[in-house]
Structure formats: C-alpha cells, structure tokens
Chain A
Amino acid sequence: MTGPSNQAIKRMISLHGWSGTLVSIFLYAVVFTGTVSVLQDEINRWSDPRRDIVHPFENPIEDTYQQLAAQVPGAFRGQVLIESAGDGSLRMFFYEKRKLKGQGTVDYGRDYLLDPETHRLLAARQGVSPHRRVEAPYHDLAHFIVDLHARLLIPGRAGLYATGLLGIVLLVAAITGILIHRHILRDLFVTERLGGRVVSLRDRHGLASVWGLPFAILVAFTGTFLSFAVSLGLPVVAISAFGGDTERAFAAVTAPAKIENATPAELANLDHIVAQAYLIAGTHPQFLRVEDAGRRDARVLTVHRNGGNGAVGPHTLEFNGVTGDFLRDRPLVGHSPSLGASTVAVMSPLHIGDFAGLASRAVWVALGAVLSMSIVSGMQLWLKRRGADPVWQACRKILAVVVWGLPVMLVGAGWGFFAAVIGGDTHSGTVAGFLVAGFVVMCLSLVSYSAQALSAHLRRILAWGLVGLPVLRLQTGGVSWGEASWNNVWQVMLIDLLCLTVAMVFLLRERAEKRSAAMALDVGE
C-alpha cells in the first residue's frame, strides 16, 4: 500500500499550516480556556467564600414538598423540578407546559427557593423556568471561563457556530498532521535539537503534536458535536424528518413514549426514592423531576452527574411515581439503550474529562496543556520559517500578546471577581477585570521593543498576578486553609497551590534565564 504522493503531502502541509495560522489565535484561546474549564467544579468551590455548603438532598424533602404542593394551583402540580439552585439553596419549581407569545412552549409555574437545611422560605415567584446563572454569584468566575471556551463570549448561536468551526479546523489539522507525518512512531521519541533553530521548533511541534494527537482528535470531535448538536444538528434533522418542528424533533429524541393512565393516584414518598437513587448511583442527584404527579402513570427521574459508581456517562434513574419502585436507568436519548444513546451519553464526559473524578480531570488538564503547546509551537515554527518577511515578523508580537496575554487576562478576571465579591456585582467585576487586564496587555505590547521582551514582561505579570490571587481571595473573606481542612474543602488548597506553583515555575525560570545571560556575557568579556 502506498501513502499519499509527495505533491499531496505538500498540499496537506500547506492546508495544515494555513488553516492553523488563520485561526490559531482563536484556536489557542478555545483550547487554553478549555484546559482551565476542566477544573470548573474546583474553581467554583475555590471562589465560593461559604465555609460549609449543605447539599439539598442530604435532608428529607418529602414534608416540604407536600406542604408546597398543597399551596400551588392544581395546574402546576403535575410537573415538579427539585434541585440545588445556583446559590446552594433548595429549589422546588411546580410548573406546566404553556405556550407563550413570542417564546414558544415554556415551563411556567411557581418557583420556591428554600434554605437547604431548615427549608425556611427564602424567595418565591411565579413565571417561566428560572435563570440559574443569575442565582450563582460565587460561580461567575468559572462561568465566565467556560463561556469564553464554549462561545468565545459571542452571544447566541453565533458563538456556538464559531467554536464549532474551530473544532473542525482542529480536526482537519489533526487529520492532515497524521497524513504528513510519515514517521509518526519515531516522532514519539524524538528529542528537541537545541539552538532555537527551525529544526528545534519542528522537533518541539512534532513531539507535542504526536503525543497530543489522540487527545486533539477526541476533544475536537466531541467539542464540535457539543457546539453543533443543538445549534445546527437538531434544526437540520427537524427540517428533514419533522417538517421543521424543532420541539417535536427534540421531544422525539429525548422523551420516550409511555402508556398513558390518567387514573388519580398518590405520589410515592420522594425521600425513599432519593435514598434508593443514592444507593444505585453512588451520588446525590443533581436534580429530581416529577412527571405527571397525581396520576397512575407518574414517573420520578433522578439525574446524577458523570462518574458515579464507575460509570462514564451520567445516570438518569427512572422510578414508578406511585409505588416508588426503581424501573430502569433511562438512556439520555431514545426509549432503550442503543448505539446512539451510548455515544451521546459519553460525549460531554469525554470532552471535559469528567468520568473518573479528579484523576481523569488532571490528565485532561495535562493533555490540554500539551495541545496548547502544540498550537503555539506550530505558530512559532510558521513564523520562524518566514523570519525574513517584515509582515510575519510583526505577527510574532501578536503571538506573544495572545499566548501570554490571555492567561494574564484570565488572572485579571479572577482579580476583578474577588474585588467584587464583597457586595459588588461579581459578573461585572469579572468582565471588568478581564478587560482592564486586556488593556494593560495592549499598552505593554505597544511600548515593548520586541516579542521576547513583551513575553518576558507578560510572564512576570502573570506570575505575580497568580501569587496575588490566593492572597486577594483570603482578604475578601475566602475560605482559609484551616477552615478548608476542617470542612474538607480540598478544592481551595488545590487551586491555591496550583496558582502558587505555576507562579513559582515562571519566576524561577526567569531567574535562571537572567543568570545564564549574565554568565554568557561574562564568558564573552
């Protein structure tokens, strides 16, 4: 069997380079923020100043459910959503499906927020399904980073299309990368030739890319699916197979058919169901949904996140709403387990590495860093080969702005978030911190005389910014290490140590570089 011809390889190298070059800045932004987003849960807990957070499903909910169900209008009693709200309180949302002008079919009903421990009423309102993001001020930092990763901060579907396209570019770069590397196994063990020459950069890019290749294909594929599935895939399938009715298409995929039985019947005890669900899935439910309460065909669903009891995908446990018996682990899509349902279920866990707890996420962070390095080294190689061209020379500075400026801006977002934690609007604070840091980066890029000098400045700012984050967190009422140890909030220590370690690596590296430069000067003299 012969491989592609030399001419074909030249064409693929051209596509590999140009496709990466044209969007490398955005690709780097998406991959780098994605790497940070893998630790979303840890960042959420780290940035949350509350010492002891009680999970709403740790306490019995049946009595409170019965009391509130008796208060709401009959039309809202059929469907109920019980979950941990963004601010940690217990939500009970009693609703019905209602068609509203300009909004289509929405969940409309009464929403109660309760203290997770005492079930004291905190807030109540009537309207469409609640906006969870608004209620979680302490999670704004992680939300911001995830938004930057998933949509590049572009609102609506346009953001999903943009990141989906970047996923396709990454996938094309990976496929062409496989085809143009004729000695892919040998490249796994190549050592970088020193000297900062073209071959050195080629070795570096080849090494990072070959080791990160399976991961690049995996995250590009799953990420493109997650971007396009609802924004493009569902509408196309709806037009093709359901005459353009997106709601019917969504219901056909996600809501399995059941035998209707409207005979009145009491709902089973929810506490018994939650206890059974905990035994089966090994975790408390993310949320609990009651379907058709008060009827013989009532169902109760408990949805658990990925990784419970060794499962890669999430659990959706289905219980008989009258007897409380466990019926089955309902697939994410369709009415029975199938190839499509299994594949959809593992897409998100595989994309964010959320299937074996912190261990899998740590591996994903490391592989994400390798992929970021592969994109940067590819750009460095591209620019090195065009070193004589003044236009490409100017691009070296832009590359430095993006590669080091983006982490500085993320740290700036963290500073803005913590500055706004005490009484301020954390969302605005996070965005303001990000933009102010961006402004500083731009000013520095204008006054720096070379890309190397700019990179060195930005690395220094990044290092001291990272050192300042744990200090600022503590000064704004964050959880101390003592309190974290007492309450088993290990995430606080993990992210603090991560910030300090990365900062120390940069500062030590800078010191070593200065020392070697001074020694070289001495030898020269």
Chain B
Amino acid sequence: MLVTWPKTKKAMVALTVRKDDKPSGRFGRGLIERWNNRPLRTRWIASGPVAFVMAILSMASLPHGLPAGAGGVDHLVMPVIVFPLIWAVLIVLPLLPDRPGRLLGLYISIILAELALIVAGFLA
C-alpha cells in the first residue's frame, strides 16, 4: 500500500496518535497528548519525583487498607517492607511504553487515591 505524507495538521495527528491512546475526557486527552509529545521529560518526572511521592504515599496509605493479620502489625510492617520494591518498580515502569503520558496519568490517579485513603483513615 502506498503511504502518502499527510498534508494537514489533523491528518498528521491522526497518523501519529494511536486511537487506543486517546482518553475519553477532553481535558485529560489534551494533557496526556502534551505529556506524550515530550516523552523524555515525562519519563524523568514519572520515574523521579512522582515515583518517589507515590512510593512514600503507598507506605503511608497501606496501613489504612491492609488487614492487621494474626500478629496485629502486618498492616504497619508490610508497607515498610515492600517500600523499596515499590519504589524501584515505579522508577523502571515509565521506561517501558513508547508513549509514557498515560502511565504518568495513572501514577497521578493512584497518588490521588492514596491521598483519599489517608484522609479517610484520619477521619476514621
């Protein structure tokens, strides 16, 4: 099949952005497209500060979500034990997709969910 160079900006976007990458929301789609347009910067942000904050918040939020276990301390101890693994995996994950915008979006969503869990724990 003969592939012709796209002549309009819309056609160019249609060629470069895969349909399955498009989120449903207008705001979210624009943001993720912007992150995808600068993959290196997005990976730095996702693997660096966002991964660190997410790992710390995982450690802080899991005590409110995990069962206490037979000894009554599993919910306090296990988050501290898995913290290094969580952090290391979160650093490596943004390197895998060619378009890391959605992953950064996922990271931020999980951070918000963890914050909600911590606030719910405080209120409880």
User: Which residue in B79, B85, B89 is a CB contact (below 8 Å) of A237?
Assistant: B79
- A residues less than 8 Å from B73 (CB atoms): 252-253, 333-335, 338, 340-341
The answer for the CA separation of A335 and B85 in the assembled complex, in Å, is 26
User: Which residue in A239, A337, A340 is a CB contact (below 8 Å) of B81?
Assistant: A340
The answer, yes or no, to whether B42 is at the interface (CB within 8 Å) is: no
The answer for the CA separation of A344 and B77 in the assembled complex, in Å, is 8
Tell me the residues in window 233-248 of chain A with beta carbons closer than 8 Å to chain B beta carbons: 233-234, 236-237, 239-241
- A residues less than 8 Å from B71 (CB atoms): 331, 333-338, 340-341
The answer for the CA separation of A4 and B88 in the assembled complex, in Å, is 17
Do B77 and A12 touch (CB < 8 A)? no
The answer, yes or no, to whether A136 is at the interface (CB within 8 Å) is: no
Kindly report which residue of chain B lies nearest to residue A227, judged by CB atoms. B84
Do B92 and A15 touch (CB < 8 A)? yes
> What 1/0 mask marks residues of chain B from 69 to 101 whose CB sits below 8 Å from any chain A CB?
111111011111101110111011001111000
User: Which residue in A11, A15, A233, A249 is a CB contact (below 8 Å) of B83?
Assistant: A233
The answer, yes or no, to whether A118 is at the interface (CB within 8 Å) is: no
Interface residues on A, range: 35 or more
> What 1/0 mask marks residues of chain B from 107 to 124 whose CB sits below 8 Å from any chain A CB?
000000000001001000
- B residues less than 8 Å from A337 (CB atoms): 70-71
The answer for the CA separation of A347 and B78 in the assembled complex, in Å, is 12
Kindly report which residue of chain A lies nearest to residue B69, judged by CB atoms. A338
Do B60 and A236 touch (CB < 8 A)? yes
Knowing A8-B95, A11-B95, A241-B121, say if A175 contacts B69 (CB, 8 Å). Answer: no
Kindly report which residue of chain A lies nearest to residue B92, judged by CB atoms. A175
Knowing A12-B92, A341-B77, say if A221 contacts B85 (CB, 8 Å). Answer: yes
The answer, yes or no, to whether A167 is at the interface (CB within 8 Å) is: yes
Do B84 and A4 touch (CB < 8 A)? no
Q: How far is the CB of B3 from chain A (nearest CB, A)?
A: 21
Interface residues on B, range: 20 to 34
Do B72 and A344 touch (CB < 8 A)? no
- B residues less than 8 Å from A228 (CB atoms): 80, 83-84
Knowing A225-B84, A333-B77, A334-B71, say if A237 contacts B60 (CB, 8 Å). Answer: yes
Do B84 and A340 touch (CB < 8 A)? no
- B residues less than 8 Å from A229 (CB atoms): 80
- A residues less than 8 Å from B64 (CB atoms): 240-241
Instruction: Give the number of residue pairs across the A-B interface with Cβ within 8 Å.
Output: 125
Tell me the residues in window 1-39 of chain A with beta carbons closer than 8 Å to chain B beta carbons: 4-5, 7-8, 11-12, 15
Q: How far is the CB of B111 from chain A (nearest CB, A)?
A: 14
Highest count of chain B CB atoms <10 Å: which of A11, A179, A232: A11
The answer, yes or no, to whether A171 is at the interface (CB within 8 Å) is: yes
The answer, yes or no, to whether B54 is at the interface (CB within 8 Å) is: no
Kindly report which residue of chain B lies nearest to residue A171, judged by CB atoms. B88
The answer for the CA separation of A211 and B61 in the assembled complex, in Å, is 37
The answer for the CA separation of A82 and B9 in the assembled complex, in Å, is 80
- B residues less than 8 Å from A128 (CB atoms): none
> What 1/0 mask marks residues of chain A from 219 to 232 whose CB sits below 8 Å from any chain B CB?
01100110011001
Do B98 and A7 touch (CB < 8 A)? yes
Do A236 and B81 touch (CB < 8 A)? no
The answer, yes or no, to whether A343 is at the interface (CB within 8 Å) is: yes
- B residues less than 8 Å from A15 (CB atoms): 47, 91-92, 95
The answer for the CA separation of A333 and B80 in the assembled complex, in Å, is 13
The answer for the CA separation of A333 and B77 in the assembled complex, in Å, is 8
- B residues less than 8 Å from A249 (CB atoms): 76
The answer, yes or no, to whether B103 is at the interface (CB within 8 Å) is: no
The answer, yes or no, to whether B59 is at the interface (CB within 8 Å) is: yes
Highest count of chain A CB atoms <10 Å: which of B70, B81, B95, B121: B95
Do B59 and A233 touch (CB < 8 A)? yes
User: Which residue in A5, A167, A237, A341 is a CB contact (below 8 Å) of B59?
Assistant: A237
Do B96 and A4 touch (CB < 8 A)? yes
- A residues less than 8 Å from B89 (CB atoms): 175
The answer for the CA separation of A113 and B110 in the assembled complex, in Å, is 55
The answer for the CA separation of A225 and B64 in the assembled complex, in Å, is 21
Q: How far is the CB of A206 from chain B (nearest CB, A)?
A: 19
Kindly report which residue of chain B lies nearest to residue A343, judged by CB atoms. B81
The answer for the CA separation of A4 and B95 in the assembled complex, in Å, is 9
Q: How far is the CB of B76 from chain A (nearest CB, A)?
A: 5
- A residues less than 8 Å from B78 (CB atoms): 339-340, 343
The answer for the CA separation of A220 and B84 in the assembled complex, in Å, is 9
Highest count of chain B CB atoms <10 Å: which of A339, A340, A341, A343: A340
Q: How far is the CB of B61 from chain A (nearest CB, A)?
A: 7
Q: Which B residues form the contact surface with A (CB < 8 A)?
A: 43, 47, 56, 59-61, 63-64, 69-74, 76-81, 83-85, 87-89, 91-92, 95-98, 118, 121
Q: What are the nearest 5 A-B pairs in CB distance?
A: A334-B71, A338-B71, A233-B80, A340-B77, A224-B84
Can you name 28 A-B residue pairings with CB atoms under 8 Å? Answer: A4-B96, A8-B97, A11-B95, A15-B91, A15-B92, A164-B84, A167-B84, A168-B91, A176-B92, A176-B95, A224-B83, A228-B84, A229-B80, A236-B60, A237-B60, A239-B60, A240-B64, A240-B121, A241-B63, A333-B77, A334-B74, A335-B72, A336-B70, A337-B71, A338-B71, A339-B78, A343-B78, A343-B81
Q: Which A residues form the contact surface with B (CB < 8 A)?
A: 4-5, 7-8, 11-12, 15, 164, 167-168, 171-172, 175-176, 179, 220-221, 224-225, 228-229, 232-234, 236-237, 239-241, 249, 252-253, 331, 333-341, 343-344, 347
Given A12-B92, A229-B80, A233-B59; 20 other pairs, CB 8 A cutoff: A5-B98, A8-B95, A15-B47, A171-B84, A171-B85, A224-B84, A228-B84, A232-B83, A237-B60, A237-B79, A240-B63, A241-B63, A336-B71, A338-B74, A340-B76, A340-B78, A340-B81, A341-B77, A343-B78, A343-B81
